[in-house]
Structures are given as structure tokens and as C-alpha cells.
Structure 1
Amino acid sequence: MRGIPWNEDWRFTLEEPEAPHLLHTDDSTWRTVQLPHDWSVEFPFDPELEASTGYLPGGTGWYRKRFITSPEMTGQKVFLNFDGIYNRASIYCNGSLVRFHPFGYSPCLIEITDQLNGAGEENVIAVKVDRTRYADSRWYTGSGIYRKVALHLLPQLHIPVWGTYHTTPRLDDEKGTLLSRIQLNNDSDDQKIPEIRITVYRPDGQQAAFQTRVIAIPSGEGVKLEFELEISQPQRWEIEDARLYKVVTVIIDNGKVLQEVEERIGFRDFRFDSDKGFFFNGRSMKIKGVNLHHDGGMVGAAVPLDVWRRRLQKLKACGCNAIRTAHNPASEDFLDLCDEMGFLVQEEFFDEWDYPKDKRYNGNEQSVDDITQGHAEFFREYAQADLQDTMRRDRNHPCIFQWSIGNEIEWTYPKYNAATGYFGMSASGNYFWTLPPNSKETISELISRMPRDRYDIDTTAGMLVRWTKELDTTRPVTANCILPSASYESGYIDQLDLAGYSYRRVIYDYGKRYYPDKPIMGTENVAQWHEWKAVLEREHVAGIFLWTGIDHMGEARRKPFPLKGSEAGLLDLAGFDKPSYHMFKSLWSEEPHLYIATQTLEKSLYQMSASGELVERIEGGWQERVWFWHDVFAHWNYCDEEQVVVEMYSNCEEICLYHNDRLISVQRLRDFEDHIYKWVLPFAAGELKAVGRCGDQEIVERLRTVGPVHRIQIEVDQEQVKVDADSVVHVTANLLDANGTIIRNQNLCLHFQVEGEARILGVDNGSADNVQPFQSTRLVTDQGRGLMIVQGLRPGTLMVRASCADHHLVSNTCIVKVNA
């Protein structure tokens, strides 16, 4: 995060102290915390709370930080940037309320210059976080100052925070043009005539371009400067190779450097074509995207960057190339990471506009009460600042290629929905698989006769698009439309550059037929083969965003407690891969891939036909599977002679299946309409071996019958970390049998131990049904595995192991070096 880090030595309490915002309030009994901090995730799960936000509490929290007015602050303009506070934050400096900031996802930049005490004197920043509406979202939000805080000291003649805007309007292999727009303010008492220098550095650090200009700025005024720099043979920012340039802007006054602002940029171009789909750096490309919520499982909303890095690396290995930030702006650090790793990002602004969503019943707006009232209450007053502050912070990121103004907003303007002819609308309605019962002409006529309300979806959308384009016209504006057939006619989609469809692949052709000039893509899609197949068959559809890339907490309406989160992800809450991950790796990755899954015939999706063939219980059922992958297992342990279905997800043209070295059969992918290889055979202990052929390459996978747990094996994802809130080590524990085979059908209660100065951020087994406290060293595994996340507190060595007292087992020891 840009600026001077300001995350250490905060005090925190969930009590309601007397005058907590005042300087001399006694906070000696408050906890000392390091930001980012999420207090909700520190509590045990409570079935009396709400499923929508994951059975974890809210409340009211207070944060305080004392600091001295340093000589460096004297004569400077002093700002604090809170990258994310959830939510309804009141920020005080020395007893004065500086800002009320209700939105939990937008950055909050405040100036405290006039509130500071004199040089050498003490000050206090106090932040009240009102999360008493603990079910104010449809997913887990976290509570507190859950993103970083930075201090900015600016001279009287300065570039404001977020005051630079860099675009690359022209780009080819020979040269690229960098257009830099710089805001420069003179808050001093005198006219200034500074020199402004801009230097561009290549990814290897060599200078690529330089310009300088001298300009007169009267006292109390600001100017907007434009610099156009030419870069020879620009290295493009590619998804496979995210090459970043650095732009350094310097203000020099009377030979003295007053300020230096550094930004990273990328040279890339892209376009959406209503006939041909998406083009990136001149090449036709399908968007292979996933939706991601902002929590990191056991760490809640305060997610160290290494946690995101591990998760994004796994998605990258799957073939994923794009992220949609559902349904809110991401952190500055997350976008930096996407810049570095080469992910395209659709950044979304809002889940609610003028009217609220029912947090308990998505898509069925029954009621909103005190604890579920969300941000709609504040939307009209704060939306422009929330949207545009987010854009000012983020518009230099090369990863961002779309702005989304809203998610499934149609639910909150329900008068249009019935015009489609779909009745009994809900989030699992019949519109998934059928075209609108009413014709386009009927829908248009019915909507045209509707009286206008105080706020209508098209006018609010137009307002948001206008605010967006005031700050950036280089990226298309879109939205996730749950009912496009109505939104085309209401005028909503007219406001957008690109129509995003939410679970509406059935009308891809309808959209192209009736609205041929508007590009289309899927912005929420179930993680099933039929969704990707529909895109591959249609050149005009730019791609999809699967719901979701990773399981998230909250939104747990499908089953009662102990289900605490959504199970729709390719990865689970601990970042372990799921069967759907392997299906999409076989669809999206160029590397040969093969994954074996099993299930008893009785519990499978299949049955034996009269002719002895394995067929679907529901013919063609694969075409209407939705969010959750069917139950299959990664083991070969069943009852003798029990009929077992063996599934394989693969991009190989053919696979030979062997059982105990006996060839069962050779099958070809072209023969499986659902893209799933499948066999049925009677269980006998031993080994399944699959040999896949992918062109001239061969890939082999095995699944072996396992015995009882013999030992615990742990491994770490890195052997060196730093004393830093973003630097963590992931410790994975697996159960093994006597042959060293990983066990996926047995579980034990493990106790994790860490020797050395460290903080255990949490433990989890990945299951959405796991309600063991995260803040623990004890964990019952799921599928024979578990995860602990550890942060080093001091330079030195950590020794990590796991044990099971009930079985007298102790794992191997992993050694992690902690560097300063």
C-alpha cells in the first residue's frame, strides 16, 4: 500500500469506554493489535447468529493510536488513508470528528493537518466501528480496520494522494505512448514556479523516457498537467508475463525535491467486439474468470498477501486469467498482486443501490430489519465519493480491464421482473434454462407502460456510469445483470458498454439476435462444463466468471448450521482443490491433466441401463447442474464387490484404465458429451491406474487403497518468511498409511505446535461445515488433511510439527527461518 505504513501499535476494545475519542482517555487495558485486524473471526461460531454472514458476531469496536507530531509533520499537509473499515466508521483526531465513513469497502482518505497538536506533542486517532448490524451483508464481511492504513505527508506544493493518472492510448510493437495527467496543488501563501519531472523505467530498471516542465502556479490554486511520453519497443503487460513499468513524478522547487510519486503501469491494449468477443494485445482470447469474495477463510477479512498469493497461484495453475471482485472494491494490495501475477480484474463497486436486498433471502426481497439493513441507506449521499475515490486509487492498475457498477441490482427494482413472463422469481428460478415466456415486443410494451418511480434502475445506472466515465474512459463499464431480457428494455443495459449476464447462458443467442451491437459475456456462471461449452460454441461471447473461484464464508442458506459458508468454489475455504477445480483445469489449462474421482453407483449420478451401460439417472441432467459439484471422492476404499463409478476429468484424448494392472478399457473423450470419463467396476482393493494420451504426451495418475493411519506428514509452502503482516507460512498436514499413501477417507484430531516467536493466525480443514474455532491449535481433519497459517514475530527459527495424542503419533518437523 502506498504511503508510510501506519499499522503498528493500535489499541482495540469491544467495550464501550467513556470518551474513547479524547486524547487523555485511559486505554492501557485495551488490547494492542496490528492492522489489518478483523475481530469477528476471533470468535467461535454461534448457531444463534445469522447464516448470511457465517454465524460470527459484529458489535461495536474502538481503535486508538497515539503518536507525536514529528518535525517532519510541521509545515506539511498530513493525511491518513484507511484502505478499508467495516463499517460505519467514525474517525476522530484529538477529539474532533474528522469523517463518518459508512461504506465498508472504499478507501477513506482524511486530512488531519488542522487537528494536530504542536510539534513534539501527543495526538490520538480514534476510530469507532459500528457493526451492530451484524447481518448487513449476504456474505461474511469481517469487522474492524481490516485493511491497511497509511500516512501521507505532503508539502504545501504537492501532488495529491491519487493525483496521477497514466494511460497508454497508443501501442504497437515499435512504440507506445504514455499519457500522464498530473494534478498539482499550491496551498502555500506564494506563487510557485516548480519543475515537474517524469521518468519512465522499463521492467529491467533502465530508463525508457524522460520529460520535464516548468510551470507557474498562483497561491491557492491547482493545475492539471499532461505529459505525453513515447516508449520505444514497449514490453507488453501479458497474462503469461506481467511486465511492469515504473513512472516516477518529481516536484522540484528552487533545486529542492519536494515530493516524489511512484506508480507502476503496464502497456497493454484490449477491446470487446460484439461479433468476435474479446481481444487482448491483438489476440483473440476467452476470459477464463472466477468471482472472489474478500475473505481468506480462517484469517477472515484481514488477509495477508501470502494467503492471496497461494490462492491465486492455484487459480493460475488451473488456467484462470481473470478475477471479478464480488461484489465490492478490492484492497489496493490485492490489485498490486494481480498486476504482478498477470490477472485481469473486473472491479465491482456496489451490491446495492437505492433499495436494499434481503440478506437472508437472496433474490426474494421479503424484509429488511435492524440487523440486516445494508448500505442502501447511505447510497445516495456517499455513492459518488465511494465510487470515485476507489477509481482514483485504482485506475493506474494495468490489471483492471472493466468497471462494474452493480451486482444483480434488478432484484431491488422488482417492478420490471414480471414483464418477462417468468413468475415466482427467485435465485433458483426457471429462468436458468428457458427463454423468456414473453416476447421481446411484449416485454418492451409492458415496461414502457410502467409509471416512473423516484429512483429507477436506468437513471441510477446512468448516474453511476457518468461518474465512472468522468474519471476513466479507457475501460468499459458493465454490470452483472440477473434479468437481461428486462434490463435491455428498461434502459439499464443501454447505459452500459458491455452486458454482463448472471446465470443466463440460455439467452446468449437471444441477446445477440435482438441487441447485436452490445458485447456480451457471462459475469456469474456455475462451475460446470455446460457453461464453458456455451462460450466455446459462440464467438461473440467474450468469456465467463465462475461462481466462485474459492469458497467464502457466509451466504450459507443452502443448509442449516453447521454450514458456515458457500461451497461453490473451485477451491475450499483452506485453499485445497476440489473436483470442480480439476474439471476446469482440464478445460482451461494447456498442460495435460487427469484427475480420478470415485463414488458408489448407488450414490452416484448414474445407473445401469437395461443393456448394461452406465447412463445418467436423469437423461441430459449434466446440462442443468448448477453451483455445487456432485459428491465424489479422491479415494479407492469401498466394500468388496460394491459397484463403484470411476470418473475422470481430463483434457486427454483417450484414457486407459487399469485395475491392479489389468486393463479395464480404453475410452475417448469425444464419446462423453458431459466431458467426464466414466467407468463402473466392482471394488477390489489395490490400485487404479489411468494412462492418458494428450497428443504425443502421456500422463499417469494412480489411486490406491489405503490402510489405517500410520503417520502424520506436514509440509510448508515456504521455508523463509519475513517479520511482516503479509508474510506467512502455510503448514499443511496429511494423514498417511504405512505405505506412505495419502489418506482421504479417514480423519484424526491433530494438535499443531510451533516453537519460536510466532503467531498462529488460524487452523482449518477447508470444509464449509467445519465450525471448530479458527483461533486454535487443535483441529479435526477433513479428507485427512488440515491447514495452519503462521506468522513470524521476531527474526529467528520456527519449528513446526503436528501430533495426535489419541493415536500416539507425531509428525515430521518443518523448520522455517524468519528474517527481519
Structure 2
Amino acid sequence: MNLSYSIFLLAIAFSVCACHGDTDRERTSFNADWQMMKGDFTVQTIGEAGEQLWEPVRLPHDWAISQRPVKGASMKNYGHYPLPGTYWYRKSFVLPEEDQDKLISLYFEGIMRDATIYLNGEQVGRWVYGYTSFPVNLLPYLKFGEGEVNELLVRLHLTKKFTRWYTGAGIYRDVWMIKTNPTHFVHDGVFITTPTVQNDYAIVNVETEISSAASFSGKGLVEAFILNSQDEVVAQGKRVADFRAGETISVEQELKVLKPNLWDIENPYLYKLVTKLKIDEMRVDELETNFGIRTFRFDANEGFFLNGRHVKIYGVNNHHDLGPLGTAFNLRAAERQLEILREMGCNAIRTSHNPSAPGLLDLCDRMGFLVMNELFDSWTIPKGVHDEGYTPKHWDDWWEKDLKTFVRRDRNHPSIIMWSSGNEIPEQRHEKLAQLSREITDEFHKYDPTRPVTAGFNLNKDAVENGFVDTVDVVGWNYATKFGDWYNDFRARPEFKDKPQIATETVSTQSSRGYYRFPYGEPNLNGPENQACSYVMRAPHYGLPPDMELMRQATSPSLAGEFIWTGFDYIGEPWPYEEDSTLSYYGLIDLCGFPKDIFYNYQSAWRPNYDMVHILPHWTWPGREGKLTPIHVFTNGDEAELFVNGKSHGKRRKGEGNTMVKSFSRHDAGSLAKFTNRMIWEDVIYEPGEVKVVAWKNGEKIAENAIHTAGEVARLQLTADRKKIRADYEDLSFITVDAVDDAGRFVPTFNGTLEFSVEGEGELVALGSGNPTDFTPMQGGSTYRAFNGKCLAIVRGIDGKPGSITVRVKGVPARITAEDVYSSVEVTGRKKTAPHSTQFESGEIIVTTEL
């Protein structure tokens, strides 16, 4: 069976247009000039809160990320951040008298969570789920005219046990004020599909919902124009519509695009749809919508196809925080994450386990990422003690509303290839609840019949026996490799021969960037430093090492691909060190965007034509002279040779047993060696100097790399991802601080405290290092400890003030305590590397801002 879908999508954006000839549809940012406070008040008693309790903020805003994590059992899943409580946001604004004939609403892209909105003392809206976007109609409580001040209050409440990870707290996504004519295009009411896509033409269907004013009945004209990337009209159409007072109608149009450029992960070509509404020759409303034309299908035998071409899905799961920024959405921060993932070879994102910010989907459209768009982490049955909020308390009243607004908001994005209804839902254990899964799938199809629905099943046998796999279009498996050759075994069953499969979560191994544990071969976890070993040869009980999953992916041709848990480390879920850590350890990339060793394992597999060699561990080990220090290499080559101080330690060839040897004795090393890009030399004795690896493919040299023993830190080297940014509140520059010796060699053992200063037309936004055990607040301070040679500073410009930003960093003398973090540990003897001196050259970098 083939699940075929021919669609194109849009990221909804409203343009300014003339209405009634003298007024405009407006969609303006409502992010500035807010105040917030945390306190257990009601709308009746909020006036008793002293003015000193209110602090000025600008949205998007995550209150919790600026706080110091507090160790406590009730908050360890949140990374010890003090999330629970009642929060208040307020904003005053004035509207001109000429707006009285407008419909005026606010559009909240995300409030965490259980939000109630008040205008001038009256409740105008409520939304429980913290991840879905929603509009709030401000009529009839608005005031108009000079001196008539409107007071907006937003109350949100986070219970003590409502999540399994860090969610942030606050109005953490954008807010928009939207003004329209009484007769107008309905919000998220445009739906575009392409039932026919061929090389010479594509048929584009546009369905548009229009709401008529209570006093208007009559005829109107709906015009549609499709523009290419050069803003040239390539198709157009018009249709007369009959309006009835106070009702909503739907108008359908069919347009034909000749020789369409297809949206693809390698060429994410976007068109623009301009939709105009006219009454009596007067333009009443106008929308602009970006979209893409493409086809895709899931095949039960051969996997996934995009525009007729087989594509293996190389995906990652990502939670919604943005590292040191917390959950406050920032477009540039999200773009940087995607850029780093693209460098690894990633082509797909699973929005685990909730709807993302609309801006992330816009980026995926523009940058060519596939998206598995997920709605819920749980349904009616709570997951342990962490579901005191939405599930099950609000499920019956809210799930259909959340699903509707979720699908209608996102259904036009070309990047989205499937919806996900849930993740590891406990309902899998109950046969009678399979009907609920079917109802949810049907509800998705009600609002979007063009895409398949999946869910991430982790109780594989229960999901099969209780009928859950029959309720979704594509079966999603979490950690199925732990059941052996599950993908092929499932495919071989006659009753499932037409059911496509995808691995919705895989691997789940843990590591700390630049940290290695000896003696070699000890488990990744449970060491005295609360860090996880970067050799990554072990996995939690529910997962398997990446090499094993890579083998299963390569030998399961019917599988569409995988989503690794996770792309980036995230805040919260610091298992197994819940008491002493704030971050997860699962990422291929650390919280600050610094790749871990496992990143290069996947780069060598997912980018087979990118010639590379990565060597681990680092080679700065004072005190380890003469001790066994195994070397691992990741390469896209099929053969590699290791040299230590010029002496060859022999070659390893892909497919031969000695590439994996006893380190993976739990598994079939011989079979594994055929599919992994990891090559191992276990018998290397440490001696300071140079480690070099040369790689070949098909007998030709393709790459080489060398690492060296570093000396004492001589200076701090600063590198900005972008040295020119916009002079506004949103754009950011991410500055990496590397400790280097007098020869410019990276010093991977440096963990000293650094002090940052910023001068000029900019400000310091956040600091971080990717160290899971560091409880220092990532915002609000000017000092932070490096972790294994690295630190990160994030700066931004000042809105409307172009100029330059000078960022300086220097070492801070500090006492060495038992809590100091080092890059290695001898398990048996608890031997630590020596601390570095703070007598070294400070670093400086200049970033310019422009309008």
C-alpha cells in the first residue's frame, strides 16, 4: 500500500491592506511594553499588589530561565527551575476612535500555561494547553479615543506536577494585535491543496473562509493570485461569493501553475498566494501566504518518497527550549539550531511532544526540513505523577479545540509530512481505548485529509494486540530495536503488509561533551562526577547504542527513517542525575549548540559524500602517561589508519570485525561492523603529542585529521556565528569562547570561571556552557564557568540604534572546590585533572548592528 499525498502548504502571514478604501487590515506586534509579576492574586485582588512587584518585560518572555535552579524533588524534572506558581502579565494601550468600526483581536502564539485573559476587568478569553496558539476577541470591552486607556491582564498558572520536562513559564511566544473589517477572511481559514502535480503543470485548490458582518448581505468578489519567487504572477483566478449577514461561507477556487518548481529538502522553493476580498469594487481584505508545491508518499515496502524520489528520513526529536534563552521563542536561535543540524546531515524534525512556535515551521519551509508535527504527549491517562494539569483534568473539554486550532494553523506548511497524535500513550495497554485513537485520527483527517497521522508507540506488542496500529496511517515505533529485528518482523506479518513504518524515537544514549571515563569500557553512567561518557558505547535499558540503530536502519528497507532522541540537550529530565543536574544528556549537540562526539557518528552516516574524520577522545591527559587510552574514529571512509606521534597503530576496515571488537560484546560485533562508521583502536597507550588519522574510500585517500596535546591556557579565543546583526530586539549573535594555548591549540580540560562585559549599542542576553551540573542562572549575570574548554555568550543590539558591540571576556580567580567540574575521572581512583591558571590573555570581539 502507498500512502500518497499531493499538497502544498503555507506559513500564514497577514499583510497590511486597504479596507473600505480608508482603513487597513493590520497585524502588528504586541510584544513591547509589558510588565509581569509572580504572585497568588486574583483579578479582584491584583490591585493590592504593590507597583514594586511588577517588572518591565518584553515578549516573548520566559520568567523561570533567569532564576537560579533550586534543588528539590518536586522540581527535578523541570531541571530544578521554580516553575510552579501563578504569574500575571499586564499591558496598557490606547486605540484611536477610528478603530471603533473594526474587529480587534489578539493572537497568542503560546502561553505557558492555563491562561485567563482580562480586558478592563472583564474576562475575554481562556486557554489551558500551553503549546497551541489561540485568538482572543477583545470586543465589546475596548475603549477608544485619546485618554481612554485599556488595561490588559493575563493570568497563568502552573501546578506542581504538570510536565515531564522544562516548559518555561510565561507568555513565551509572540503576541499579535489584528484589526479587520467586519467582513473579513477568517483567521487560519485558508487551506491550499494540490490534487495534481506533474512536470508541466500543477493544479492548486484554494479554499477560503469568509465571515460576513452582521449587517451585510450581498455579493463580493474573491480574487487569488499565485506569485513566484520573483513576485511574478504565474496563476490567477476570481469567484463571486454570496454573503449572508452574520454567517461564514467557504469559497473554493482552482488555479493552474505551469512548469511548477517543486518544494524539496534540497530546493525548498516557495510560492506566494495573494488573496483579495472586494465588495462594490472596494478592497475589504487581503492576505499573503507563502506555500510550496510537492508530492510525497509513504510506502509500506520501500519507505518515504518526496516528489517521486526515495528519501531516507534522517530526523531528530527536539523539545522547544532554545538553550540559555529558555523557552522564549527567537527566530534566529531556532534558525541556528537548524543550521547546526543541517551540518550533521539531519533533514527532519519531530516537534516532541507538542506544537512548535509557528516561526519554527516557517524556517523548516524555507530551509528544507521535513516535519513530524506532534500535538500531545499524553491523552486521558496520566504518565506517573507528572500529569496534574491537562491530562486528565481538561481532556474532555479541550482536546478537540486544541486539535482544531493546531491543524488549521499548520496545515499549509510544505515541510509538514505527517501529524502525530501522541507519544508513548499509556492507553496502548487497553484494547477498549483504541477507539479513542481512531477518533483522534479521524479528527485530524476532518481538518486535513491530505496528510497521514502517526503516533509514537513504545509498548509495541500492546499496540499491535490491542489494535492501536490499525488506528493510524503510519505506525511510529519508539525504541523498537530493543525487540531485535522488529521492523522487518512487523513488515513480514500478512495483516500489516500495507502499513508504513517510521522510527519515531531511537537511540536515547547519554553523553557530556568532552567528558570521558576510565577505565575504558565502564558503563556510560553512574560515575562520581554526574557526567556521561562521550565514548557512547552503552544506552539506557530502553534504548541501544547508535551503532546498533544505524545497523537496523540500514537493514530495514521498508522503514521510512528515524527520529533520534534528541538533537539538542534540553532543560529538565536530567536522568539519571536528577538530584544534581539541570539538563538532559541525550543530545547529539549540547545545550549551547556545541557538537558532541556522537554528532560526528551521525554526520559520517548521514552525509556519506562529505569527507571527514573525527577522533576521540581529546589528547590532553596529564597524569595518564603510560595508561590505556582507547581511540575511536568516525569517518565516511571505508578504511582508516591511526598514527600516534608518527607511529602507525594499524588500519581498520569497515566490515571487518576488528573495527568494533569487544567494546560492543553485548551485540554481534561482526554484523555491527558492516554498518557502523565507528573504528576502534583499543590498545593505545597514552603519550603526549599528536594523534593523526588518515581515511580512504575505495582505495583513495579522502581525508585526514590530527589532534594534539594542549598546554596551559594562554588566551581566550572568541568567534561569533555572525558579526553583523540587525539593530533590533530579535536578532542575536552567538559568541563561542574557546580556551587555547600559546600555539592556538584548543584546551579541552579548562573549566575556569569567566567574566563577560559588553560595551556599545548592545547587551548581554545569556551565558551558558552546556554543563548539565552547573546550577548558575544562564541569564541576569556576567560570570559563568567554562565547561571542557568552551563557553557561550549571546548578545543582541538595541532596537533602532545601529552601531557596534564590543564583547570582552577574562578569567576570574576562584577557589577550587569539590564541586568543580573536570573533563575526566578515573572511576576507581577518582583522579581529577589539575585546574588551570587564570593568568592568561583575555578575549575580545566586535559585532556590528545595522538597521
* TM-score bin, normalised by smaller chain: 0.7 to 0.9
Q: Is the 8 A contact 1:592 1:650 kept in 2?
A: no
Q: Does 1:42 align with 2:69?
A: no
The corresponding residue for 2:847 is: 816
Cα 1:19–1:404 change in 2 (3 A) is closer
Q: In the TM superposition, what is the alpha-carbon distance from 1:21 to its structure 2 partner? A: 8.7
Q: Does 1:582 align with 2:586?
A: no
CA distance in structure 2 between the partners assigned to 1:151 and 1:504 by the alignment: 46
Q: In the TM superposition, what is the alpha-carbon distance from 1:484 to its structure 2 partner? A: 2.6
Cα 1:24–1:483 change in 2 (3 A) is closer
The corresponding residue for 2:718 is: 714
Unaligned runs of 5+ in 1: 361-367, 417-446, 448-455, 599-631
**Counterpart residue identity of residue 343, structure 1:** F
**Secondary structure of 2:412's partner?**
coil
**Counterpart residue identity of residue 50, structure 1:** M
Q: Is the 8 A contact 2:716 2:738 kept in 1?
A: yes
The corresponding residue for 1:175 is: 201
Q: Is the 8 A contact 1:720 1:817 kept in 2?
A: yes
**Counterpart residue identity of residue 782, structure 1:** F
Which of the numbers 348, 355, 373 marks the counterpart of 1:322?
348
**Secondary structure of 2:294's partner?**
coil
Which of the numbers 762, 768, 772 marks the counterpart of 1:768?
772
Q: In the TM superposition, what is the alpha-carbon distance from 1:725 to its structure 2 partner? A: 3.7
CA distance in structure 2 between the partners assigned to 1:697 and 1:156 by the alignment: 69
Greater alpha carbon shift after TM alignment, 13-22 vs 251-260: 13-22
Which of the numbers 791, 796, 805 marks the counterpart of 2:796?
791
CA distance in structure 2 between the partners assigned to 1:149 and 1:21 by the alignment: 26
Which of the numbers 302, 321, 329 marks the counterpart of 1:303?
329
CA distance in structure 2 between the partners assigned to 1:6 and 1:385 by the alignment: 24
Q: Is the 8 A contact 1:585 1:593 kept in 2?
A: no
Greater alpha carbon shift after TM alignment, 253-262 vs 91-100: 253-262
Greater alpha carbon shift after TM alignment, 98-107 vs 724-733: 724-733
**Counterpart residue identity of residue 521, structure 1:** I
Cα 1:645–1:713 change in 2 (3 A) is same
**Counterpart residue identity of residue 641, structure 1:** G
Q: In the TM superposition, what is the alpha-carbon distance from 1:377 to its structure 2 partner? A: 1.0
Q: Which runs of structure 2 are paired with 1:254-653 in the superposition (5 Å)?
A: 254-359=280-385, 372-409=388-425, 411-412=426-427, 414=429, 416=430, 456-505=432-481, 506=484, 507-514=486-493, 515-526=496-507, 528-598=546-616, 632-633=617-618, 635=620, 639-653=624-638
Q: Is the 8 A contact 1:21 1:125 kept in 2?
A: no
Cα 1:20–1:269 change in 2 (3 A) is farther
- Residues matched between the structures, number: 736
Q: In the TM superposition, what is the alpha-carbon distance from 1:118 to its structure 2 partner? A: 3.2
**Counterpart residue identity of residue 510, structure 1:** D
Cα 1:549–1:246 change in 2 (3 A) is same
Q: Does 1:142 align with 2:168?
A: yes
The corresponding residue for 1:423 is: none
The corresponding residue for 1:625 is: none
**Counterpart residue identity of residue 680, structure 2:** K
**Counterpart residue identity of residue 791, structure 1:** R
**Secondary structure of 1:813's partner?**
strand
Which deviations, in whole Å up to 9, do the C-alpha atoms of 1:341-375 show, x marking residues without a partner? 11100111111111211256xxxxxxx6xxx4443
CA distance in structure 2 between the partners assigned to 1:573 and 1:593 by the alignment: 27
CA distance in structure 1 between the partners assigned to 2:751 and 2:316 by the alignment: 31
Q: Is the 8 A contact 1:21 1:92 kept in 2?
A: no
CA distance in structure 2 between the partners assigned to 1:36 and 1:258 by the alignment: 31
Q: In the TM superposition, what is the alpha-carbon distance from 1:27 to its structure 2 partner? A: 5.2
Q: In the TM superposition, what is the alpha-carbon distance from 1:260 to its structure 2 partner? A: 1.1
The corresponding residue for 1:626 is: none
CA distance in structure 2 between the partners assigned to 1:717 and 1:254 by the alignment: 53
Greater alpha carbon shift after TM alignment, 579-588 vs 252-261: 252-261
Unaligned runs of 5+ in 2: 1-11, 14-26, 509-545, 660-671, 814-837
CA distance in structure 1 between the partners assigned to 2:741 and 2:449 by the alignment: 59
CA distance in structure 1 between the partners assigned to 2:464 and 2:310 by the alignment: 27
Q: Does 1:63 align with 2:44?
A: no
Q: Does 1:701 align with 2:684?
A: no
**Secondary structure of 1:643's partner?**
coil
Which of the numbers 200, 207, 229 marks the counterpart of 1:203?
229
Q: In the TM superposition, what is the alpha-carbon distance from 1:12 to its structure 2 partner? A: 0.7
The corresponding residue for 2:266 is: 240
CA distance in structure 2 between the partners assigned to 1:373 and 1:76 by the alignment: 36
Q: In the TM superposition, what is the alpha-carbon distance from 1:16 to its structure 2 partner? A: 4.3
Q: Is the 8 A contact 1:141 1:295 kept in 2?
A: yes
Greater alpha carbon shift after TM alignment, 531-540 vs 311-320: 531-540
| Percent identity of equivalent pairs | 30
**Counterpart residue identity of residue 395, structure 2:** F
Which of the numbers 808, 811, 820 marks the counterpart of 1:804?
811
Which has the higher relative contact order, 1 or 2, with Cα contacts under 8 A spaced 6 or more apart? 2
**Secondary structure of 2:101's partner?**
coil
Q: In the TM superposition, what is the alpha-carbon distance from 1:593 to its structure 2 partner? A: 4.3
CA distance in structure 2 between the partners assigned to 1:398 and 1:591 by the alignment: 27
CA distance in structure 1 between the partners assigned to 2:51 and 2:507 by the alignment: 49
CA distance in structure 2 between the partners assigned to 1:689 and 1:377 by the alignment: 59
The corresponding residue for 1:33 is: 57
Q: Does 1:755 align with 2:759?
A: yes
The corresponding residue for 1:126 is: 153
**Secondary structure of 1:486's partner?**
helix
Q: Is the 8 A contact 2:428 2:462 kept in 1?
A: no
CA distance in structure 2 between the partners assigned to 1:635 and 1:218 by the alignment: 77
CA distance in structure 2 between the partners assigned to 1:777 and 1:22 by the alignment: 34
Which of the numbers 647, 651, 655 marks the counterpart of 1:670?
655
**Counterpart residue identity of residue 813, structure 1:** E
Greater alpha carbon shift after TM alignment, 308-317 vs 691-700: 691-700
Q: Is the 8 A contact 2:618 2:707 kept in 1?
A: no
Q: In the TM superposition, what is the alpha-carbon distance from 1:25 to its structure 2 partner? A: 8.9
CA distance in structure 1 between the partners assigned to 2:205 and 2:621 by the alignment: 60
**Counterpart residue identity of residue 154, structure 2:** V
Q: In the TM superposition, what is the alpha-carbon distance from 1:188 to its structure 2 partner? A: 4.0
Q: In the TM superposition, what is the alpha-carbon distance from 1:557 to its structure 2 partner? A: 3.1
**Secondary structure of 1:494's partner?**
helix
**Counterpart residue identity of residue 419, structure 2:** W
Which deviations, in whole Å up to 9, do the C-alpha atoms of 1:673-718 show, x marking residues without a partner? 3422112322222111111123555212111011111111111111
Q: Is the 8 A contact 1:209 1:230 kept in 2?
A: yes
Cα 1:634–1:377 change in 2 (3 A) is farther
The corresponding residue for 1:218 is: 244
**Counterpart residue identity of residue 37, structure 1:** H
Q: In the TM superposition, what is the alpha-carbon distance from 1:255 to its structure 2 partner? A: 2.8
Q: In the TM superposition, what is the alpha-carbon distance from 1:480 to its structure 2 partner? A: 0.3
Q: In the TM superposition, what is the alpha-carbon distance from 1:237 to its structure 2 partner? A: 0.8
**Secondary structure of 1:480's partner?**
strand
**Counterpart residue identity of residue 203, structure 1:** S
Cα RMSD for the two superposed structures:
2.0
The corresponding residue for 1:778 is: 783
Which deviations, in whole Å up to 9, do the C-alpha atoms of 1:585-644 show, x marking residues without a partner? 01101343444444xxxxxxxxxxxxxxxxxxxxxxxxxxxxxxxxx5575666222222
Which deviations, in whole Å up to 9, do the C-alpha atoms of 1:430-455 show, x marking residues without a partner? xxxxxxxxxxxxxxxxx6xxxxxxxx
Q: In the TM superposition, what is the alpha-carbon distance from 1:221 to its structure 2 partner? A: 2.1
Which deviations, in whole Å up to 9, do the C-alpha atoms of 1:731-755 show, x marking residues without a partner? 1100001111011122211111111
Q: Is the 8 A contact 2:428 2:459 kept in 1?
A: no
CA distance in structure 1 between the partners assigned to 2:376 and 2:266 by the alignment: 30
CA distance in structure 2 between the partners assigned to 1:564 and 1:135 by the alignment: 17
**Counterpart residue identity of residue 222, structure 1:** T
Q: In the TM superposition, what is the alpha-carbon distance from 1:149 to its structure 2 partner? A: 0.5
